[in-house]
Amino acid sequence: MTIAHVVITGASRGLGAALALRFAAPGVRLGLVARSAEGLAATAAACTARGALVATAALDVRDAAGLGAVLAAWQALAPIDCAIANAGVSGGTRPDGAPEGLDSATRQIGVNLQGALNLIEPLWPAMAAARVGRIAVVSSISALRGLPDIPAYCASKAGLRAYGEALRARLRPRGVTVTVLCPGFFESDMSRRFLGGKPGTVALEEAAARCHAAILRGRGRLTFPWHLAVGLRLLDLLPAGVSDLVARRVRFRIAPE
């Protein structure tokens, strides 16, 4: 299918901005959402320079009513045929060893999981009715097995992965593809806040290229790097005590934003 109207959350920087630039082309509408008006303006300018028609909304994806109103306005201009739930925040064990706490955990669940639902739920019924559309959710390789220093982040991404997998099974017969993206570490502001070993880190542009290609092809799932994915999947198959023992060797500290 030819994608004509793409909405991307978390588009002010990182993977969201990189994906916006890859979709930007003459005749393509882009709806870009993020909290940072300044970052959105920069992404929008770069996409406009590539010939795209760009609209922006500076809001928090946890604001279901606000996001819903924006989506309805954009949908009235032209049917949205591609939605990418990319907005995300992270947290975890602090540099001093203190736990992340309830506020941080709640924020991650709200942005990473509920924010994705706030984007996708208003859009997929129209896509299914038209029997055409692309949906992508940016989960994480950490969704494959919970890790001790980032429990809420793992929970939010595991929930998003499960939601995407379920939605894919439901919508594929209706002509809508759902791509569940589970990347590992790639160069970004969020990744730089993880203090510890980051195996398999790839460049931002490489991560964006892989994700963009998977969405265009309508792939059901993309997980990388493969060796880390295999390791986490095997870890999850081990008896709980053994799995936990190994998981405790994977340690991070998360610097504040």
**Cα–Cα distance measured from residue 155 to residue 113, given in angstroms and rounded to the nearest whole number:** 9
Looking at residue 194, what is its pLDDT? 87
> By CB neighbour count within 10 A (0-12 exposed, 13-18 middle, 19+ buried), where does 67 fall?
buried
Looking at residue 250, what is its pLDDT? 87
**CATH classification code of 5-254:** 3.40.50.720
Looking at residue 155, what is its pLDDT? 98
> By CB neighbour count within 10 A (0-12 exposed, 13-18 middle, 19+ buried), where does 191 fall?
middle
Looking at residue 240, what is its pLDDT? 96
Looking at residue 82, what is its pLDDT? 98
Strand pairing partners for 195? Answer: 253
Looking at residue 126, what is its pLDDT? 97
Closest of 49, 55, 61, 41 to residue 25, by C-alpha: 49
Dihedral angle sign, alpha carbons of residues 210, 227, 189, 153: positive
Token digits of residue 221: 């799932």
* φ, ψ of residue 73 in degrees (nearest 5): -65, -45
**Cα–Cα distance measured from residue 12 to residue 90, given in angstroms and rounded to the nearest whole number:** 16
Looking at residue 134, what is its pLDDT? 98
Greatest Cα-to-Cα distance within the chain, rounded to the nearest angstrom: 55
* φ, ψ of residue 94 in degrees (nearest 5): -80, 165
Strand pairing partners for 136? Answer: 84, 179
Which pTM value belongs to this model?
0.96
The DSSP-derived string for 169-207 is HHHGGGTEEEEEEEE--BSSHHHHTEES--TT-B-HHHH
**Cα–Cα distance measured from residue 194 to residue 180, given in angstroms and rounded to the nearest whole number:** 23
Looking at residue 252, what is its pLDDT? 85
Tens place of pLDDT per residue across the chain (257 aa): 889 999 999 999 999 999 999 999 999 999 999 999 999 999 999 999 999 999 999 999 999 999 999 999 999 999 999 999 999 999 999 999 999 999 999 999 999 999 999 999 999 999 999 999 999 999 999 999 999 999 999 999 999 999 999 999 999 999 999 999 999 999 998 889 988 888 889 999 999 999 999 999 999 999 999 999 999 999 999 999 999 999 999 888 999 88
> By CB neighbour count within 10 A (0-12 exposed, 13-18 middle, 19+ buried), where does 243 fall?
middle
Residue 221's identity, in one-letter code, is: R
Axis crossing angle, helix 37-49 with helix 14-23, rounded to the nearest 10: 20
Looking at residue 257, what is its pLDDT? 82
Q: Which residues are catalytic?
A: 153
